[in-house]
Amino acid sequence: MTMRMRSAPMAILVCATMRAQLTQRVNPDLSVTYFVNAPDAKDVRLADDVFSLGPPGLPLVKGADGIWSVTTPPYEAGTHQYGFVVDGTPAPDLWGSARTDRMPRNFFPFELIDVHGSEPLPDDLRRVPHGTVHVEVFSSERFGREVRCWVYTPPGYDASGRRYPALYLLHGNANEPSHWITYGHADRIADNLIAGGARELVIVMPDTGDANRGNQPLDLVEAYLLDEVIPFVEQRYQIERSQSSRYLAGFSAGAVRTRHVGFLHPELFSALGLMSGGGVDPTPPVETTYPKLADSSAFKERVRLIYLSIGKDDASSATAVINMRILKDSLDRLGIPNVYNLSDGGHYFFNWRRYLAEFLTALP
């Protein structure tokens, strides 16, 4: 497959009072020291989450040479995002010292930094057999436009002559399906797990947003997935067409869509993964909104895995962590088994990568 990409113009924020130069250093204990050369700045802060673009971000200290610096506590091994707020203005690492990948434009000014420990990470690029990532384009009547769908097929797929289970993996708001590959490394995670003995599967990453990557209404996404995406993929790929081999998962807004579609249609999916989203308000009871949960025996007979995960520091909404716990408690009350992971960290791909690895490992 040959892909051609055309880069779009990027808006760059510049502080009028200074010319900043940024860099960073990973230390042996997995802490990171950040430097900002901004002698005219009055206040510089580290922002490590898309939801913390201002105070009380971790403050940097100005040295006699005009270079600001701060050393973080040790990070967990993995890829972390970072940005800065200089005198109240978001400032990315755009100068000559930049050595990291840029986050999507929607998450400007964030960059990515890799912090590796002694053990390999689930998404490391390893010497294992690799699958293939396909990019499909089709016309959606529901969305009224052309849409792209990214599809991962496992190693040996073409020559196998057999059908595979399928995971429909949804992106978040202000994201697109490619982000599960470029930042989520779903293909690498699947390659590594399959090489370690996990079940082979096809991963389908459809576009579920509007033309500008905003949220589509839940009912519209439901109809689009059931009437267009699943039939299109099952006709085009070697996929098992049974409920027991069909899974649904997503992060953030994708988790909300997973909850909505999965709870309404337990006859279609045998595993649901809600990552950093999809929790419920305390009222009304969840079985009022999703009546099929009320027959818990029938529901849990069909849906064999419900995976709930969120970071302790998730600040995507004021009640994100609380509402995820409410959902878990509601499922417990109904007698519906679930796996609940309250991890460290916040609302970013560092967590979504490990959540995906855990979900794939736990699939029935």
pLDDT tens string 217-233: 999 999 999 999 999 99
Residue 188: in which H helix or E strand, if any? helix 186-195
Share of the chain above pLDDT 90, in %: 69
Domain residues of the chain, as ranges?
Answer: 21-115, 132-362
- The whole-angstrom separation of Cα 274 and Cα 258 is 7
User: pLDDT-derived band of residue 33, with 50, 70 and 90 as boundaries?
Assistant: very high
pLDDT value at 5 more than 70: no
The pLDDT of residue 93 is 66
The pLDDT of residue 17 is 36
The pLDDT of residue 318 is 86
pLDDT value at 19 more than 50: no
Which comes out higher in pLDDT, residue 112 or 247?
247
The pLDDT of residue 12 is 32
Angle at 216 between CA 212 and CA 218, to 5 degrees: 165
Segment 329-338 shows an average pLDDT of 97
Instruction: Specify burial of residue 266 (Cβ count, 10 A radius: 0-12, 13-18, 19+).
Output: buried
pLDDT value at 46 more than 60: yes
> Around Cβ 338, how many Cβ atoms within 10 Å?
17
The pLDDT of residue 107 is 64
Mean confidence (pLDDT) of the chain: 88
Which comes out higher in pLDDT, residue 84 or 234?
234
pLDDT value at 54 more than 60: no
Segment 34-59 shows an average pLDDT of 78
CB 350 within 8 A of CB 318: no
Residue 309 vs residues 38, 249, 274, 305, 317: alpha-carbon distances, Å: 39, 11, 6, 13, 15
Cβ partners under 8 Å of residue 93, min gap 6: 22, 23, 24, 82, 83, 84, 100, 109, 111
The pLDDT of residue 13 is 35
Q: What is the pLDDT of residues 65-95, one digit of tens each?
A: 999 999 999 999 988 888 888 898 887 765 5
pLDDT value at 299 more than 90: yes
pTM for this predicted structure: 0.86
Residue 201 vs residues 124, 263, 363: alpha-carbon distances, Å: 19, 23, 11
- The whole-angstrom separation of Cα 324 and Cα 171 is 18
pLDDT value at 7 more than 70: no
CATH no., domain 132-362: 3.40.50.1820
Segment 270-288 shows an average pLDDT of 95
pLDDT value at 358 more than 80: yes
The pLDDT of residue 56 is 61
CATH of 21-115, one of 3.40.50.280, 2.60.40.10, 3.40.430.10, 2.40.50.140: 2.60.40.10
The pLDDT of residue 6 is 28
Q: What is the pLDDT of residues 139-180, one digit of tens each?
A: 999 999 999 999 999 999 999 999 999 999 999 998 899 999
pLDDT value at 214 more than 70: yes
pLDDT value at 15 more than 70: no
User: pLDDT-derived band of residue 53, with 50, 70 and 90 as boundaries?
Assistant: very low
The pLDDT of residue 18 is 39
